[in-house]
Amino acid sequence: MKMLIKLCLMLSVVCALGGTAFAGTATREECIDMAKQAAELIQQGQEAALTEIAKSDGKFVWKDSYVFVMNLNGKMLAHPIMPGLTRMDNLLAVSDKNLEKPKMIFVDFVTLAATKGEGWVDYLWPKPSETAASPKVTYIYRVPGTDLFTAAGYYK
């Protein structure tokens, strides 16, 4: 519960910042491309890549989307919009924002990365400039030869 409260507080701060940097809607193809570009960067050097991916004004933030990186243990390693997530030990107990039937999205992300290596997860999550949850689909891509995956999503 404490983790969920922290997550909600961080989300509130992000929403309060407004959506000026989030003009336009990301496409399915952009999400795949950006997640794979981030994975290639990680393979060239993990520490430098995570620093780049975590930049809120970097190349991995575009339109209303962004790339984030997690490991298979449920630890967020880079998140340009909600960097506080990287300070949490494990996100596997955090659900999406569906009030009627919450979905354990981080479990779904990790399971997909570990078993299939890539694919899509549907869930509800607020857009960067809003507080109300919207339908979102995120592409998960396992970085070859590592226990990491990159992800990027778009809103429906």
pTM to 2 decimal places: 0.85
pLDDT cut 90: percent of the chain above it = 81
Helix H, strand E, coil C: the string for the chain is CHHHHHHHHHHHHHHHCCCCCCCCCCCHHHHHHHHHHHHHHHHHCHHHHHHHHCCCCCCCEECCEEEEEEECCCCEEECCCCHHHHHCCCCCCCCCCCCCCCCCHHHHHHHHHHHCCEEEEEEEEECCCCCCEEEEEEEEEECCCCCEEEEEEEEC
Q: Which two structure tokens, joined as six digits, stand for 123?
A: 């869930």
Q: Looking at the domain assignment, is residue 16 inside a domain? A: no
Q: Are strands 148-155 and 133-142 parallel, antiparallel or unpaired?
A: antiparallel
pLDDT score at 5: 40
Average pLDDT over residues 6-24: 46
Give the span between the Cα atoms of 134 and 65, in whole angstroms: 13
Average pLDDT over residues 138-147: 98
23 — pLDDT class (breaks 50, 70, 90): confident
Query: Is residue 27 pLDDT above 90, yes or no?
Result: yes
Q: Looking at the domain assignment, is residue 61 inside a domain? A: yes
Q: Looking at the domain assignment, is residue 2 inside a domain? A: no
Q: Looking at the domain assignment, is residue 56 inside a domain? A: yes
pLDDT score at 22: 53
Q: Looking at the domain assignment, is residue 17 inside a domain? A: no
pLDDT score at 19: 40
Give the span between the Cα atoms of 118 and 139, in whole angstroms: 7
42 vs 1, more confident: 42
136 vs 18, more confident: 136
Question: How many residues belong to the chain?
Answer: 156
Residue 32: which domain range?
Answer: 25-155
Instruction: Residue 98: give its domain's CATH number.
Output: 3.30.450.20
Q: Looking at the domain assignment, is residue 85 inside a domain? A: yes
pLDDT cut 70: percent of the chain above it = 86
Q: Looking at the domain assignment, is residue 12 inside a domain? A: no
pLDDT tens, 65-123?
999 999 999 999 999 999 999 999 999 999 999 999 999 999 999 999 999 999 999 99
Q: What value does the mean pLDDT of the chain take?
A: 88
Q: Which two structure tokens, joined as six digits, stand for 44?
A: 């060239």
Q: How many domains does the chain have?
A: 1
Q: Looking at the domain assignment, is residue 3 inside a domain? A: no
